[in-house]
Amino acid sequence: MKTINSNNTRIVSFEELRGLRGVCYVRDSTLDQKDGFGPDIQRRNEERFAQTYGIILNSHWFTEFISGRDASKRREFQKVLEDARLDRFDVLLVDHTSRFGRNQAECIQYKEELKQLGKTVIFVSQGIISGSDRDFLSERINETLDEQYSRNLSRYVSAGLAQKAEHGLHIGPAPLGYKSELTSGKRECKVPDPTTMPILLTALRDYASGKFSQREVANHLSSLGYRTKKGNLFTGNAIKDILGNRFYEGKIIYHEGLPDEVVIDGSHEVSEEVRELWLQCQPIKEKRLLFTRGQPRGPARHFPFSKVLRCQRCHQPYYGETMYQSGNTGLRLTHERHNAGRNCDTWPRSQSIEALSNQFQDRVLSYMVLPDSWKSMITEVTMNDDGYQVDIQEIPRIQKALENLRKQHMWGDLTDKDYRQERVALERQMKFVSPPPQTRHIPNIERAAEILKNMPIMWSHSGVNDEQRESFIQEIFTQITIDGKRITAIEPKSNYAPLFATMVLNPNYGYWETKSPPSPPANNLYTDIL
């Protein structure tokens, strides 16, 4: 008999997991073993997670052996689904997104099936609750990452750190008052540093007295001539870091703030004085936090396009603004704040996020179609280094011309309009002769390609909110230019630029396939979308 929980009981935070029934899924493959991430490590990660969050684990483990490409059957996974239908568990623990499905389509399909059955999937190593808003972007990106790439990045790093933390060793650079030292040949550990220890003690004593704020403590250190490791003045934030670092309490924290956070006794030596002073500071800090927290703030607003949207005429940015009108809240981006656009005649002065979003979809996203041959196109271009050498020599000439243009404008020899036109033309030339962005680092490009491919679907997806849209935009673009009402140009980040170039050159789609204004000069690869 099927028991289907309703979707309104969806888990959104790790705290809600306590007492739920969990099962673990482990994928065993020759590749994983070869890389040292065999089933044991996956199992241990899942167990540790379950322990931390009070999940009651079933004694049965679903271990799937997958060899080569023949992963289509996934027998164990079918059993997981069967158990889900029989409501034998609430939560499925999987070590990593890459252990779950071989590609995004497969991942989404499996997760959808489990979701329909009211089950929650958690990727414990990445701290992702599948399907939650909070983890939307990281989940999608992780799914789309090339498995090998994903393995290299997140797994190796975190497993290495976990091992280090298990031995009670502090991870990362030595905090103030301490230095790194190699003992017994190889092992690195943190020992008190006689040079910086007095700075630490002064800071702790000051703050523990309860008479000074964090900034005042920092100023005091500076007035005594103390400087940070990098030679800078101390700031209130530096003091805040010290007060929040449990290293001074003798503890080591692994994956702080993450689901698998572990606090253990460090193997480093902390003097009684440091520990006591640091502990004395804690209640003072707590009290001040409560005091300064004040009125609860309204919900955080997110403005897609903010920081990225700029005016074509004056190059000033647009700012997010919340409008209240007859009980409704509207989010807009405006060209009229912080002096931005004050002397600019562009009209209208602001646009609603919704209108911008729709326009972005119609005028930008619908043309963002990667040709199938993008990879070979990019490889071809990057192989041909010589072609760019000649052009690079043009750069100083154009820079000089730009400089002269600016002077003429300053002296009043050129009208604003002429200046703008000339400058735009020169900047276009500059773009053309500039060397292509570094594209040799293929994993980055592949990740970028996956994100671009998924962007149009994600943008209009009903489950996507403004915060996520904002992060997409910031992930991909350095700048989006608008002339009053119309988006006129986009500028992708350097690791996306080659991909945009392939879209422009794509014979089947043509990025600026257009009826209206004439095409801009053909050398302007990806800025104009008119």
* Interface stretch with Zn ion, choices 97-105, 290-298, 313-321, 448-456 (CB under 5 A): 313-321
Q: For tokens 């009651």, name the residue.
A: 56
Among 39, 341, 492, 498, binds Zn ion (CB under 5 A): 341
Radius of gyration of the chain (CA): 28
Contact between 215 and 236 under an 8 Å Cβ cutoff? The reply is yes
Q: How far is CA 503 from CA 138, 368, 499, 518, in A?
A: 25, 7, 6, 19
CA distance 436 to 431: 9
* Interface stretch with Zn ion, choices 9-17, 29-37, 307-315, 414-422 (CB under 5 A): 307-315
User: Given the complex with Zn ion, which of 314 and 430 has the nearer CB atom?
Assistant: 314
CA distance 505 to 424: 22
Among 31, 262, 314, 505, binds Zn ion (CB under 5 A): 314
User: Given the complex with Zn ion, which of 131 and 341 has the nearer CB atom?
Assistant: 341
- Show the beta-strand stretches assigned E in 355-506: 477-483, 486-492
Alpha helices in 18-103 (DSSP H): 30-34, 39-53, 75-85
CB atoms within 10 A of CB 406: 13
CA distance 353 to 298: 19
**Smallest distance, Zn ion to C-beta of residue 347, A:** 10
Is residue 346 involved in binding Zn ion (CB under 5 A)?
A: yes
**Smallest distance, Zn ion to C-beta of residue 466, A:** 24
User: Given the complex with Zn ion, which of 161 and 355 has the nearer CB atom?
Assistant: 355
Closest CA to 207 of 278, 291, 271, 293: 278
Q: Per CB under 5 A, which of residues 237..296 are in contact with Zn ion? A: none
* Interface stretch with Zn ion, choices 337-345, 348-356, 379-387, 445-453 (CB under 5 A): 337-345
Is residue 84 involved in binding Zn ion (CB under 5 A)?
A: no
CA distance 315 to 293: 37
User: Given the complex with Zn ion, which of 197 and 344 has the nearer CB atom?
Assistant: 344
Is residue 313 involved in binding Zn ion (CB under 5 A)?
A: yes
Q: What's the half-sphere exposure (Cβ side, CA atoms, 13 Å) at 19?
A: 2
Is residue 334 involved in binding Zn ion (CB under 5 A)?
A: no
**Smallest distance, Zn ion to C-beta of residue 306, A:** 16
Q: Per CB under 5 A, which of residues 466..505 are in contact with Zn ion? A: none
User: Given the complex with Zn ion, which of 311 and 458 has the nearer CB atom?
Assistant: 311
* Interface stretch with Zn ion, choices 114-122, 165-173, 334-342, 455-463 (CB under 5 A): 334-342
Is residue 430 involved in binding Zn ion (CB under 5 A)?
A: no
Q: Number of residues in contact with Zn ion, rule: CB under 5 A?
A: 6
Is residue 333 involved in binding Zn ion (CB under 5 A)?
A: no
Contact between 236 and 218 under an 8 Å Cβ cutoff? The reply is yes
Is residue 311 involved in binding Zn ion (CB under 5 A)?
A: yes
Distance from chain centroid for Cα 154: 13
User: Given the complex with Zn ion, which of 314 and 355 has the nearer CB atom?
Assistant: 314
**Smallest distance, Zn ion to C-beta of residue 512, A:** 23
Is residue 127 involved in binding Zn ion (CB under 5 A)?
A: no
User: Given the complex with Zn ion, which of 359 and 514 has the nearer CB atom?
Assistant: 359
Instruction: List the Cα angle 107/121/300 in 5-degree steps.
Output: 100
Contact between 471 and 459 under an 8 Å Cβ cutoff? The reply is no
DSSP reduced 3-state for 309: strand
Contact between 367 and 390 under an 8 Å Cβ cutoff? The reply is no
Among 81, 284, 344, 426, binds Zn ion (CB under 5 A): 344
What residue type is assigned to position 22 of the chain?
A: G
* Helix-, strand-, coil-residue percentages of the chain, each rounded to 5: 45, 15, 35
**Smallest distance, Zn ion to C-beta of residue 486, A:** 13
Is residue 420 involved in binding Zn ion (CB under 5 A)?
A: no
**Smallest distance, Zn ion to C-beta of residue 316, A:** 5
* Interface stretch with Zn ion, choices 155-163, 277-285, 339-347, 399-407 (CB under 5 A): 339-347
**Smallest distance, Zn ion to C-beta of residue 421, A:** 16
CA distance 26 to 99: 7
Is residue 317 involved in binding Zn ion (CB under 5 A)?
A: no
**Smallest distance, Zn ion to C-beta of residue 355, A:** 18
User: Given the complex with Zn ion, which of 419 and 432 has the nearer CB atom?
Assistant: 419
* Interface stretch with Zn ion, choices 83-91, 99-107, 346-354, 448-456 (CB under 5 A): 346-354
Contact between 352 and 498 under an 8 Å Cβ cutoff? The reply is no
Instruction: List the Cα angle 422/425/429 in 5-degree steps.
Output: 135
Q: For tokens 């230019």, name the residue.
A: 481
CA distance 460 to 185: 57
User: Given the complex with Zn ion, which of 175 and 317 has the nearer CB atom?
Assistant: 317
User: Given the complex with Zn ion, which of 44 and 486 has the nearer CB atom?
Assistant: 486
Site of interaction with Zn ion (CB under 5 A): 311, 313-314, 341, 344, 346
